[in-house]
Chain A
Amino acid sequence: MKNFKLKITTMIAILVLSGVSCKDNFLQTVPQDRVSEAIYWKTPKDAQLAVNNLYNYLYNPVDLMNLAAVSDIAVGNGGFNIITRYSHDIETADGGFGVNQWNHNYKGIRACNEVLTNIGKIQTTDTELMNQYKAQARFMRAYLYLYLTEFFGNVPLITKPIDPKAASTVAQTDQSKVFDFIHTELQSAAKNLPTQYSNADKGRITKGAALALDARAMLNAGRYKEAAASAKAVMDLGIYSLYPSYKNLFTYKGEGNSGVILDKQFIQNDQPQGVYSYIAPGSLPQVGSDQEVVPTANIVNAFEMKNGKPITDPTSGFDPKHPYQNRDPRLHYSMFVYGDTLPNGVIYDPRPGFGGPDDINKGFGTTQTGFNIEKYVTSEDMNDPNNSGINTIEIRYAEVLLTYAEAKIELNQIDQSVYGAINEVRQRKDVNMPPITGSKTQAQMRQIVRNEREVELAFEGLRFFDIKRWKIAKNVMNGPVNGMTYVDKSGNVQQYVYPDFNFVFNNRDYLWPIPQQELTLNSNLKQNPGW
């Protein structure tokens, strides 16, 4: 027994000693799910992987829809929707939506700056490839700065990775300087980028994309000469043309067509987008109450009659009892209006109180205007609505043509090329609206190109910037938000009005407020006027 006791005691003593003595790095655990920064930026592959990541910062289709919802042509569906509140002056101005834009863009800019700062550490002889990567990063950074300065005006222009301490003292750069920067960067990027890629790299930034974005930026900056020049440069590349089918532009069939200059790439299952459930009518299968953005009567009214006359023209033939008939075909390609056939074959009927599958009064989530967006809503995605592989078009040729036309009109250089550009858009094969002819005044042409831009590029993320550039936001976003026109059970023409909220656009809304938190954390930042 004594021996036994001794044994036990010895065993315990050994255990104690071994436990205490041998594990000096016991408290040092190393992560097994991430890569240490210390070993990165060594090989060309590191550069490639870091550049690949940048494309995630291209705006998602949902972002583009939200940009429509803060303009006059669409609205957040239902009063509980944060975007509605933001654009109707109910939500605090630095609430959710604006802050998200600020944060998203600076995150993307950081990623670009990481590439541009660290890529030089890589030992390689393939300088052309490295320059291409750098150009892609430059494009992305300019793309994000363009949104930032459009939303917020003067913004900190950060071109290197910075730490929180440095970030707490950065000052804003004048908007004109930001536009200078964007222009220089895009022109420089265009020089280092190819016009096309092999299939494996399809979707990367091209020379055309850099020039087209420059045209967009310069138009917004009011630098019409540069805008026209860059747009013309894209047209002169000779590789882009309008896709004959507007109807298929935003479907799987139209992916990567001849008019696409830059698209955000998606693949079903692996890298899907979910805009379908964000916008599709509530009656489509498996969508439930997700639809968040719906069109307003403003955009519906902008579509001309088939004969090219606006519906306000007494001779246009517009019939308020059948308001959606004989209209510019793009109305029915861009959105669902009463009487259209949905991808599941059902007739779209949102009339309030009529008991249709999309009856406005049905409750949660049904359209609160009586309209739904159709772009990117296809029958292929119907049974798996959050798993769409349709690439989202960021920049397309029609925009470049209309940018060219608008810039030339503003420069008052209205030559045949301007008519040509507009008519090329109007006369796409399945649109085929009557051409603009004769010699119009600058004011007339301005009106024509603006209307054309509104209907051609509806829900593609441009309208908000257009109405600010044209200084018409105060006029078009004022008063009740109108929905569908319909004939009620007594035979009277009625207009449904979006509940509770009115359009409100104040002078200060031309620029969003710098997020309050940024001002708190950095006393060098100055708030925008009126906020």
Chain B
Amino acid sequence: MIMKNRYYPLVPLIRIGKRFSLFIIVLFTMMNLPGLTFAQSNFHINGKITDQKTKSSLPGVNILVKGTTIGASTDVNGEYSLDVPNSNDTLVVSYIGYQTQIIPINGRHTINIALVSQTISGQEVVVVGYGEQKKTSLTSSVADVNMQNVKKSNVPDVRQAIQGISPGVTLVQNSAEPGNKNFTIYIRGINTIGSTQPLVIVDGIQQNLSDLDPDNVKSISILKGASATAIYGSRGANGVILVTTKSPEKGKLQVSYDGYYGIERIDNKPPVLGTRESLQLWNVGFENQPNGHAHYTDQQIEQWANATGNDIYKYPPQSIMWDVLFKDAPTQHHTLSFTGGTKNIQSLLSLSYNDEGGILDNSSGKRYEVDFNNDFKVSKNIDVTSKLTYRNNINKMPMQLTGAPSVYFDLWHWTEFTYPQFPDGTFGLSNVNTNPVMLADMSGWRNNVSDYAVAIVNANVNLSKNLTYIMQFGGHVNLQSNKNYANNYQEVDYFTKKLQFDSGYNNSNDYSSRDTRWTWRNLLKYSVSLNKSQINVLAGYEQISHDNSSFSAYREQFYNNDVVALNGGSQNNWSNGGDLSQTRLRSMFGRIHYAYNDKYIIEANARYDGSSKFNGSNNQFGFFPSFSAAWRLSRENFWNPLRKYVNEFKLRGSWGKAGNNTVANYTFYPSLNGTTYDFGGNLVDGYAKTDVANPDLTWETTTQTDIGVDAEFLDSKFGVTFDYYKKSTTGILLTLPIPATVGLNPAPQNAGQVDNDGWELSITHKNTVSRDFRYSLTANLANNHNKVISLAGTGPYFQAGGFQVIQTGYPIDSFWGYKALGYFKSQQEIDNYPTFAGKNNTFPGDLKYADLNGDGKITADDRTVIGDPFPHYTFGLNGNFYYKSFDLSFFIQGVGKMQYQLDGPPILDGMFNGLILKVGGDYWTPKNTNARFPRPQKNSHKNYERSSWWTINAAYARLQNAQIGYTLPTNIVHKLGIQRLRVYVSGVNLITLSKALKFGEGPENPANNNANGYYPGTKSYSMGINLNF
């Protein structure tokens, strides 16, 4: 009977991907089920549950018979009573904030249980490279991400969930495109000029963080200190993120469902200037031209500004495009998992579905995933586990989303007074014949599909009591299949009905690639306790082969936009391409960990890596050692008087090296590449040597020193972790210039040095105020300084079109431009100081740039570093509150000090067409000389050079998520055959405070890419449930 009830909802649940409402129906149906009874209960138990320390009784504690849905929860007095099927059953007692206890009944009728509050670090175990360690015996800086908070973030992307959650781990969301979000991740600053992405290891093999469902994740560790990363050798320099996904659990089948349904909305619409003020500003701009005069009469301006009814078609306000283009979009996420098993075989099946509607037409992201994980106990000493994942990710976007013209670019650049779409379906066209809504709806589509499969098999063999052998085979294949289809479409003018615009041929760009990576690993682990000494030894061998092949093809002139397969295109002007590449890595590594009396701990790690990217025995292998030590002062006798206040105090120190091998393949190989030319109208082939080969190339190396303190106060009510580190990356893979007279492109070399230093602080506090009210708070704060120490005598290297610079003595990618001294105040001042434009072209109210080299001219030589692109004082604050059956959590993250370099429409003030912001209404006139914006002059750019005038403070604080939940009383849900049911409402990116917002910039917009085609950030509101059967 009970079994039936338990399984009843499953069939419809499988289809739940479609509609949340379906699920409601299921619930509703269940509630009306007649004759719902429990299994025969022939053994009665009762008892009281208390806090071990305070002895106070604990209400609302869950007591569950293991492997069944039978359970109860304590009443206000902390008492419970329960009928169990069998006197030999086992109870699972769980309560948030306390360690879960598993208690065999052993025939007892009264079982009182004292729960131990979860200490903040205590006996927690942390995943480290190729193993696990007790948190107290860690000697290096490893951040253990609180999964409870990750889960409550209510976002489909694990990267978004861990943003700001750990000090020193910086994630910047560049694009919120559904199904294809773009993040920059760096750990403890940017080490290098090349790739700065940390290594991501999921279940032992290198995978992407991007598509990981937060619901499937069991733990995340972030290795920051060198003694932790050194074991990843040549790939560890940028830090390592270790993710473990969920494993099967023993016992009877458990089913859980988590899901939410919500609405996404554009996060930030910039405040724009009203029509009247905009036209007046334009007039001033026209008047300020040489021989200039106003273009609009006051009457015209009023007519335009006061337009109503159908006149709006001709005279739309600037904001209308934003209002039409972005709409609220539904978003939903569902995970259904089954786990259970016998002593010898356990299994976990997890199905998840994520669907994000885009806030733009034709944009969406969908993800389907199946995980099937099994643990087999082959014999007493042999365990075999497997993890199989299949994931299908579909991301759809309008064809012209990025670049120029494109949806977001056009929204900013030249469609400020364009009507989005007329009643007859035609689109308003700006004077460059474009319109973002038209591009979103008509330009075509990009469909990116990835099929991702992972198979990981582990065999654990206990060779003796102390010695374990572990072998792992891990394979993944990622099949990417992209199709970009540009429509052929025409637009007629709404008023004249004349053809206004023709997009030209339709065409299709197809791309597919296959990326496979095999990891094969052998580990020996030896662990022994001798008296007070604990020794752990790890030795490993690993090899990774990574193959990539790709194919692309192009056709155009399809019969119509519905014929999309390549075969339907014309054979005129078709083309294709493809590539193959292979890389290999072979490594040996080891670790020795020694602890004396759990008080003095030392550790050494080392890895020896060989890579196919480098040539010959001298350069192919690299050695990466690390050493670390910790001293738990709080275990010394002299600490006794202090223990009452400081119950845990540990000093840590580490030193180590890790590498970075991110460099193109085959740079050591002298070769010729194909070119083409044509004679008499016929294509001919050519061959040319184009690159210098560098046979001496090898890794770049980051050396890091870290000292840290872990402390816990007042019986672990408060916890503090502080780290200071210094990193130096040498032998940076840098393509140093060679004399151009060689006539070949230079090869990358090992040169240059970048240093980072910084500190990280995290404070936790946990308190049980009363029986009904508990809370915990976690705060973190970090800062990092980045500096280029050496470019081997070369540089500066200009980036991003000359607007950022890599230069010795400054942070990487510092903003580059003129130093603005304010406005010219008088003609006399203009006569007496160098001007950027000619003296005849400079007027009071124009920007005055500093003549830094004193040559009497303002030239490119007067540019200097005008800003630091790195966020400083990154912070996060996380709170969890529990009151009776209610819980509330929030997460605030932000940056205390950050600079942002404005560019493009936000500063151009309509002088080159483009959106005119409300702030732009404050411009210089003889009567308003303290204005934020300089003297407007149409077509003149002298005031919009990259300068310190446009470096703004982009510090921000953001309420990243907030959630209120209610757990239904156990006695009610149990009657429905449900173990636990929690319902909640949640919001993401609810509030953002920043001075950058009025300039239309989200605090996370990538510098120098403002408004140029990144999918805008979103906020979302959702409601969901967590359900365990």
Whether the Cβ atoms of B681 and A267 lie closer than 8 Å is: yes
Whether the Cβ atoms of B741 and A167 lie closer than 8 Å is: yes
A270–B684 CA distance with the chains assembled, in angstroms: 10
Whether the Cβ atoms of B687 and A267 lie closer than 8 Å is: no
CB under 8 Å from chain A, chain B span 679-732: 679-690, 692
> Which B residues touch A237, using CB under 8 A?
none
CB under 8 Å from chain A, chain B span 426-479: 431-433, 459, 461, 469, 471
The verdict on B768 contacting chain A, using a C-beta distance below 8 Å, is no
Whether the Cβ atoms of A501 and B684 lie closer than 8 Å is: no
- Of A16, A109, A499, A517, the most chain B CB neighbours within 10 A belong to A499
The verdict on B516 contacting chain A, using a C-beta distance below 8 Å, is no
> Which B residues touch A353, using CB under 8 A?
286, 293, 295
Given contacts A4-B378, A46-B687, A106-B741, contact A56 B677 (CB under 8 A): yes
> Which B residues touch A26, using CB under 8 A?
543, 545, 584, 586, 612
The verdict on A388 contacting chain B, using a C-beta distance below 8 Å, is no
Q: Which of B461, B686, B858 contacts A50 (CB 8 A)?
A: B686
A202–B793 CA distance with the chains assembled, in angstroms: 48
> Which A residues touch B286, using CB under 8 A?
353, 361
Contact with A along B740-753 (1 / 0, CB 8 A): 11111010000000
Whether the Cβ atoms of A270 and B683 lie closer than 8 Å is: yes
CB under 8 Å from chain B, chain A span 266-298: 266-271, 282, 285-286, 288-289
Whether the Cβ atoms of A79 and B941 lie closer than 8 Å is: yes
Nearest CB in chain B to that of A107: its residue: B743
Whether the Cβ atoms of B859 and A56 lie closer than 8 Å is: no
The verdict on B811 contacting chain A, using a C-beta distance below 8 Å, is no
Given contacts A203-B680, A361-B286, contact A12 B461 (CB under 8 A): yes
Q: Which of B502, B505, B671, B738 contacts A34 (CB 8 A)?
A: B671
Nearest CB in chain A to that of B746: its residue: A164
The verdict on B583 contacting chain A, using a C-beta distance below 8 Å, is yes
Q: Which of A5, A156, A270, A496 contacts B378 (CB 8 A)?
A: A5
Contact with A along B73-100 (1 / 0, CB 8 A): 0000000000000000000000000000
A494–B486 CA distance with the chains assembled, in angstroms: 44
Q: Which of A28, A161, A496 contacts B612 (CB 8 A)?
A: A28
Q: Which of B433, B469, B683, B739 contacts A164 (CB 8 A)?
A: B739
Whether the Cβ atoms of A521 and B672 lie closer than 8 Å is: no
Chain A interface size range: 35 or more
The verdict on B520 contacting chain A, using a C-beta distance below 8 Å, is yes
Whether the Cβ atoms of B459 and A500 lie closer than 8 Å is: no
- How many A-B pairs with Cβ below 8 Å? 282
Whether the Cβ atoms of B687 and A362 lie closer than 8 Å is: no
Which of B819-827, B832-840, B948-956, B988-996 lines the interface with chain A? B832-840
The verdict on B290 contacting chain A, using a C-beta distance below 8 Å, is yes
Given contacts A53-B687, A111-B743, A501-B838, contact A38 B670 (CB under 8 A): yes
Contact with B along A453-495 (1 / 0, CB 8 A): 0000000000000000000000000001000000010000011
The verdict on B860 contacting chain A, using a C-beta distance below 8 Å, is yes
Whether the Cβ atoms of B684 and A500 lie closer than 8 Å is: no
A467–B290 CA distance with the chains assembled, in angstroms: 29
Which of A61-69, A87-95, A304-312, A426-434 lines the interface with chain B? A87-95
Whether the Cβ atoms of A16 and B914 lie closer than 8 Å is: no
> Which B residues touch A170, using CB under 8 A?
739, 741
Q: Which of A1, A286, A500, A522 contacts B837 (CB 8 A)?
A: A500
Whether the Cβ atoms of B692 and A164 lie closer than 8 Å is: yes
Whether the Cβ atoms of B680 and A497 lie closer than 8 Å is: no
B411 to chain A, nearest CB (A): 14
The verdict on A244 contacting chain B, using a C-beta distance below 8 Å, is no
The verdict on A33 contacting chain B, using a C-beta distance below 8 Å, is yes
> Which A residues touch B940, using CB under 8 A?
79, 499-500
CB under 8 Å from chain B, chain A span 318-371: 352-353, 357, 360-365, 368
Contact with A along B334-356 (1 / 0, CB 8 A): 00000000000000000000000
A109–B739 CA distance with the chains assembled, in angstroms: 14
Given contacts A363-B431, A499-B937, contact A53 B675 (CB under 8 A): yes
- Of A52, A54, A266, A368, the most chain B CB neighbours within 10 A belong to A52
Given contacts A4-B378, A56-B677, contact A522 B684 (CB under 8 A): no
The verdict on B580 contacting chain A, using a C-beta distance below 8 Å, is yes
Given contacts A102-B740, A270-B678, contact A364 B584 (CB under 8 A): no
> Which B residues touch A522, using CB under 8 A?
739, 741
Whether the Cβ atoms of A90 and B678 lie closer than 8 Å is: no
The verdict on B939 contacting chain A, using a C-beta distance below 8 Å, is yes
CB under 8 Å from chain B, chain A span 45-61: 46, 49-56
A119 to chain B, nearest CB (A): 13
The verdict on B405 contacting chain A, using a C-beta distance below 8 Å, is yes
Whether the Cβ atoms of B686 and A49 lie closer than 8 Å is: yes
The verdict on A436 contacting chain B, using a C-beta distance below 8 Å, is no
Given contacts A52-B684, A102-B740, contact A79 B942 (CB under 8 A): yes
Whether the Cβ atoms of B941 and A80 lie closer than 8 Å is: yes
Whether the Cβ atoms of B738 and A521 lie closer than 8 Å is: yes
> Which B residues touch A515, using CB under 8 A?
740
A521–B792 CA distance with the chains assembled, in angstroms: 12
> Which A residues touch B679, using CB under 8 A?
52, 197, 200-204, 265
> Which B residues touch A5, using CB under 8 A?
378-379, 381-382
Whether the Cβ atoms of B671 and A37 lie closer than 8 Å is: yes
> Which A residues touch B681, using CB under 8 A?
202, 265, 267
12 further A-B pairs in the complex, CB-CB below 8 A; given A50-B688, A52-B684, A267-B683: A35-B671, A36-B669, A54-B686, A56-B686, A80-B941, A202-B681, A269-B575, A285-B501, A285-B502, A364-B414, A495-B291, A500-B941
17 contacts between A and B (CB under 8 A): A27-B584, A31-B665, A49-B687, A50-B686, A52-B684, A53-B675, A91-B859, A106-B743, A107-B744, A201-B679, A265-B678, A269-B573, A363-B913, A497-B291, A499-B837, A501-B841, A518-B739
Give the top 5 A-B pairs by smallest Cβ distance, nearest first: A110-B743, A363-B913, A53-B686, A202-B680, A500-B837
